[in-house]
Structure 1
Amino acid sequence: MGFSTRLKVANLLGFLVLIFTELVSGRFVVEKNSLRVTSPDSIKGTHDSAIGNFGIPQYGGSMAGTVVYPKDNKKGCKSFDDFGISFKAKPGAMPNFVLVDRGDCFFALKVWNAQNAGAAAVLVADDIAEALITMDSPEEDHASEKYIANITIPSALVDKSFGEQLKKAISGGDMVNVNLDWREAVPHPDDRVEYELWTNSNDECGVKCDMLMEFVKDFKGAAQILEKGGYTQFTPHYITWYCPQAFTISKQCKSQCINHGRYCAPDPEQDFSIGYEGKDVVLENLRQLCVFKVANETKKPWVWWDYVTDFQIRCPMKEKKYNKECADNVIRSLGLDLKKIEKCMGDPEADSDNPVLKEEQDAQVGKGSRGDVTILPTLVVNNRQYRGKLEKGAVLKALCAGFEETTEPSVCLSGDVETNECLDNNGGCWIDKTANITACKDTFRGRVCECPVVNGVQFKGDGYTSCVASGPGRCKISNGGCWHENRNGITFTACVDDDVGKCKCPPGFKGDGVKSCDVCNATPLSDLALNSLYIQSFMSG
């Protein structure tokens, strides 16, 4: 391809993006979380902060920490190891939230360097007196892709004025404690969470496409459980552009668009002379929308996840299988009505609007509290754009935050969204180390201390200092927390297997039944054993 042709192509691709920007009016909404200063009194109060568009925000939960402002590498653009700086909190201390200044490098690089030095979260102080903006990740290249996907801590931007207050308090010797709160970052208007994913069928657009494909495969199981249980309502969406009227008969528009330039996608390889064309992507996007619509009509909307993941595996561009024939085979294997899907797709050569794609272009414009959708991929939860890494556990936290507390489905309490707080000193909860039983339970909102149920036996207590097995079967679990002892090969226990749950020394013994039971007379051990066995047999039926 000659230089002039490449220049025209580049100009056209840029023009399509410009047209799209005009189409959606450019209304970008900054998603926020609450930052509350708990000490010192001089700056105590609540402030807004803008959630970073990378890392893992703790949707539905909160984090408390101490703000640290480094003496060197204040902008965080270099490795803190080079300055001998570590932010790893000492045992028993609050985690460190590192405050760095804006400027000189990507936001994501600042957070990555702080994370490697042990930071639990990062606050970036703006250097301009302006309204809060969303810290976005850079376009991935070989230098940045290695850290963008591996950022696991949350980050937020604070305005210049508040940033100066934090720095002044720290330089004055104050301990600045703050609480980052994401519990209201996702609204929960009812008992069902509605979410949408703006996605793309193109599997040859680099790191972002790879990340999107990986997410869809990983999230499929959880998505289908939520949908089948009626907990969520999911809708997939696809972005398209339109070709300027003056270019609709050009070779470029004909290769990138369908319906005479109304719906377009960039060339997958950015080269019109090789590989697939943009219109191939538009057609598959349209097919995937129609798969969802037909599956939804049969009350099985979750089949969309099966189709998309199967298509990724069976029909990749690299193997030259990204085509209608392969797609039809996937559709048949899932038992979907191929004729209905083809009818839904319509005629791509018609000089008229396609109702399905027209609806998608209208949906790209922000409504209510939701901003315009301008980038791929974009996740929207209860009409709020999700910020953070597109990763199974992180997204589940955001979805689960859309439920009122105590109404979350069981998948929200699974290992996929654990906070791992129970790994550190058992989260401060009760634990029976001998039986390896604990009251600590990790949830997406943080750890809770709740007496457990073990093998059908309910433990009761405050969950912090005590939990005692209660009800039938309790003596099988660590002897119900009661005294027990082996004497000359004979086992004695103070546990009585009843609903009362009290510890009572067996006949011939006296004591509190919990810490001790001592022989109260000269009764032979064999007689005591018989008495003990008789009591236990009688109580257990």
Structure 2
Amino acid sequence: MMERRAAAWCCALLLGLALTARWPAATARFVVEKNSLRVTSPAALRGVYECAIGNFGMPQYGGTMHGVVVYPKANRKACKQFDDFDLSFKPKPGGLPVFLLVDRGDCYFTTKGWNAQNSGAAAVLVADDRVEPLITMDTPESSGTEHIENITIPSALISKRSGDDLRKALENGDMVNVLLDWRESLPHPDERVEYEFWTNSNDECGAKCDMQMNFVRSFRAIAQVLEKRGYTQFTPHYITWYCPEAFVLSKQCKSQCINHGRYCAPDPEQDFSTGYDGKDVVLQNLIQICVFKVANESRKPWMWWDYVHDFAVRCPMKEKKYNRECANGVIKSLRLELEKINKCVGDPDADKENPVLKAEQDAQIGRGSRGDVTILPTLVVNNRQYRGKLEKSSVLKAVCSGFEETTEPDVCLREDIETNECLENNGGCWLHKAGNVTACKDTFRGRVCECPIVNGVKFAGDGYTNCEDIDECKENLFCQCSNCACENTWGSYECSCVVATTCYTSEIHDTCISKVSTASSVGWGFLWVIFFGLALAGAGAYAVYKYRLRRFARLWLSTCPWRAKKQQINSVLSTTQISEIAKPCME
């Protein structure tokens, strides 16, 4: 069994190396995502230092954390629980949060983070033990790391030199205060966030697979609302490898690849003799991509979340339902276009390129500020890779930090996502003495001070120490009628009239009507015109009525000529007379 697992792992490694070799050396690169560490004291160390965001825990994208650095007296690599050394780093009442400085080496980065969190630390700073460029602290693939999902404190790797400087200052008895700053970790150029989710349909890969599905389950509703309202543009992606030509006919490549070795995935159980094969994973990955493409063409890209969620629930590997038949059932239940999806999938046994999977392999290569996607799962926000725990609130903060200031949706301004800085001292912005007009506007990153708009009128000023009301009366745009007078008010204006007149004002026009007798006489004259018009209209209507009545009587008489001889219709007849004339014709 161990040999089979070793062989599977070796083949997967070869496939990964082969993929890397396929990329041009000039373009293949891994980008370490960073934030800044600002030392505020002591003065000798004051400044900004780079640090690498760990790929676990919950970095506070768009925000900051202020704390005091502590270097433990024992267990300095944090490979054991600090309780074993009677050490606790919980802050005292009123004290700053503790950022625990630990040394690199001897255990996983996640173990250090977990032990630091259990000791009461608010963040963990890992000092590198060698002079080298910063790396990304990733999570291990091995079993026995269930605590990874429970790590919530942020983590960062700092350079060896930075670590040495901090340790030296602490040994000298200095208090070291620092600020972890993630506000510029992700670009935020405009009012829409574009993000990608690099994932895998395999549900038997341990903690990482469980984390992916928990994320899909919890983030689905938020993702769909943001997409439907046009706040985001989401795209799913899937990592595949290719089999080196020399091994295409080998048992390993045949079981892990489709399209004659062009697109491969590791064996789910790392055992070629049992369970599902890598090619089953590649095929399901392809189906999920095609579900998104077809749904996107029908302007419903958010349906991808429903399909992935439902497939995971209805077609798990452990129940032996992870197959195309079960996938088709999910597609039909969601009323997606199965024929178009199957056409997109194509023939997995064909000895030719699949355009969809080829595009996915090309997309893995880093472009612009985004490096190669090599860690699975990976979230990319505004072309920058997200680092940290794949968890709903943490990812939402990252997405919210990608919006241009003041364009964030309401979900980004909830109390559990950000702190409303306008609630304390009005955010340092201008406030009208009456307290009902403020220049403070809450944003995800903090607040902005900008002059408000009141009743459609914008105030002028810097938004901090003053705000001047724009005098609409000076612009001569309002109250322009004769006898009208304009009076400026805060954020608006009022129209008034000269003595003995009444003012009527609206957004369309202003007018003044006199209250004296001349106005009354004019008003009565206008009423006489109305009465005269009504009288003429009544007379005309009566004439028409009589004409129609005479015509009706003659019509009846025309059907009874013998009766017409005895009756003369020379005058207007009443209704009773007409009935009498017409009666013989109706009997």
Q: State the TM-score, normalized to the length of structure 1.
A: 0.76
Q: 1:2 to 1:54 in 2, by over 3 A?
A: closer
**Equivalent residue for 2:503?**
none
The amino acid across from 1:338 in the alignment is: L
Partners of 2:201 and 2:92 lie apart in 1 by: 47
Which residue is 2:52 aligned to?
50
Distance 1:2 1:152, change over 3 A: closer
Instruction: Say which is worse superposed, 275-284 or 23-32, in terms of deviation.
Output: 23-32
* Counterpart Cα distance in 2 of 1:250 and 1:168: 57
What does the per-residue CA deviation read over 1:233-274, in whole Å, with 9 as the maximum and x for residues that have no partner? 110001111111122222322221111110111222222222
Distance 2:338 2:301 in 1: 16
**Correspondence for 2:387:** 387
In structure 1, which of residues 50, 69, 72 is the aligned counterpart of residue 71 of structure 2? 69
Counterpart in 1 of 2:22?
23
| Cα 1:371–1:111 shift into 2, 3 Å | same
1:13 aligns with 2:12: yes
Determine the C-alpha separation between the residues in 2 that align with 1:126 and 1:51.
13
Distance (Å, rounded) in 2 between the aligned partners of 1:260 and 1:416: 50
How much does 1:445 deviate? 4.5
Distance, in Å, in 2 between the alignment partners of 1:180 and 1:324 is 47
Contact 1:215 1:391 survives alignment (8 Å)? yes
User: Could you tell me how far apart the structure 1 residues matched to 2:170 and 2:2 are?
Assistant: 59
Q: Does 1:254 align with 2:254?
A: yes
Q: Find out whether 1:33 has 2:32 as its counterpart.
A: no
Answer yes or no: is the 8 Å Cα contact 1:419–1:447 preserved in 2: no
In 2: Cα distance, 1:247 partner to 1:75 partner: 43
What does residue 412 of structure 2 align with? 412
- Residue 136 of structure 2 is aligned to residue 141 of structure 1: no
CA distance in 2, matches of 1:300, 1:67: 49
Select between 211-220 and 401-410 the one with higher mean Cα deviation.
401-410
1:406 is displaced (CA, Å) by 2.2
Give per-residue Cα distances to partners, 1:63-112, cap 9 Å, x unaligned: 11111112222222222112222111111121111111112222221121
Structure 1 portions without partners, runs of 5+? 431-440, 449-498, 500-541
Does structure 1 conserve the Cα–Cα contact (< 8 Å) formed by 2:5 and 2:270? no
Which amino acid is 1:259 matched to? N
Cα deviation for residue 310 of structure 1 reads 0.6
Q: What does residue range 484-523 of structure 1 map to in structure 2 within 5 Å?
A: none
Q: Secondary structure at the match of 2:131?
A: coil
User: Alignment partner of 1:187: what SS?
Assistant: coil
**Percent sequence identity over matched residues?**
71
CA contact (8 A) 1:62 1:445 kept: no
Q: Which runs of at least 4 in structure 1 moved beyond 4 Å after TM superposition?
A: 5-10, 418-422, 426-430, 441-448
Tell me the alpha carbon deviations over residues 383-410 of structure 1, each in whole angstroms, 9 at most, x when there is no partner. 1111100011111111111012322111
2:250 pairs with 1:264? no
Pairwise CA distance, 1:444 = 6.1
Match runs of 1:53-132 below 5 Å: 53-132=55-134
**Structure 1 counterpart of 2:179:** 179
Q: Which residue of 2 aligns with 1:295?
A: 295
Offset, 1:414: 3.2
Look up the SS of the partner of 2:292 in the other structure.
Answer: helix
Tell me which residue corresponds to 1:313: 313
Give the counterpart letter for 2:46 in structure 1: K
Alpha-carbon shift at residue 375 of structure 1 (Å):
2.2
Match of 1:283 in 2: 283
Question: How many pairs does the alignment contain?
Answer: 437
Q: Distance in 2 between the 1:416 and 1:131 partners?
A: 36
Q: Distance between the aligned counterparts of 1:69 and 1:275, measured in 2?
A: 48
In 2, the alpha carbon distance for the partners of 1:7 and 1:269 equals 11
Q: Which residue of 2 aligns with 1:225?
A: 225
Cα 1:415–1:263 change in 2 (3 A) is: farther
Residue number in structure 1 paired with 2:459: none
| Structure 2: distance between partners of 1:107 and 1:65 | 21
1:417 & 1:123 partners in 2: Cα distance?
24
1:57–1:394: 8 Å Cα contact kept in structure 2?
A: yes
Identify the range of structure 1 (120-129 vs 175-184) with the bigger mean alpha-carbon deviation: 120-129
Q: Quick check: 2:53–2:59 contact (8 Å CA) kept in 1?
A: yes
Partner Cα separation in structure 1 for residue 12 and residue 335 of structure 2: 38
| Conservation of the 8 A alpha-carbon contact between 2:129 and 2:160 | yes
Deviation at 1:429? 9.8
Secondary structure of 1:149's counterpart equals helix
Deviations, residues 246-305 of structure 1 (Å, cap 9, x unaligned): 222223222211111101112222222222221111111111100000000011100000
What residue identity is the alignment partner of 1:379?
L
Q: Would you say the 8 A contact 1:140–1:207 is kept in 2? A: no
Query: Whose Rg is larger?
Result: 2
Instruction: Report what 2:188 is aligned to.
Output: 188
TM superposition shift of 1:200: 0.7
The 3 A distance-change label for structure 1 pair 6 and 61 is closer
Cα RMSD between the aligned structures?
A: 2.8
1:399 partnered with 2:402:
no
Q: Does the 8 Å contact 1:417/1:443 carry over to 2?
A: no
- Preserved CA contact (<8 Å) 1:101 1:127: yes
The one-letter amino acid of 1:18's match is: L
> Given residue 101 of structure 2, which amino acid in structure 1 is its aligned partner?
L
Deviation at 1:320, TM superposition (A): 1.5
Q: 1: CA distance between counterparts of 2:273 and 2:222?
A: 41
Checking the alignment, whether the CA contact within 8 Å between 1:51 and 1:157 is kept in structure 2 is: yes
Structure 1 CA distance, aligned partners of 2:66 and 2:58?
Answer: 16
Deviations for 1:204-251, whole angstroms, at most 9, x for unmatched residues? 111111111111111101110111111111100011111111222223
**Residue type of the partner of 2:302?**
W
Q: Which amino acid aligns with 2:58?
A: I
Distance 1:101 1:321 in 2: 46
* Contact 1:203–1:210 under 8 Å retained in 2: yes
| 209-218 or 65-74: bigger deviation | 65-74
- TM-score of the two chains, using structure 2 as the length reference: 0.70
- Please say if residues 21 and 374 of structure 1, whose CA atoms lie closer than 8 Å, have aligned partners that are also in contact: no
Report if the CA contact (8 A) 2:405-2:443 is conserved. Answer: no
Determine if contact 2:113/2:155 at 8 Å carries over to the other structure: yes
Task: Report the residue type matching 1:138 in the other structure.
Answer: P
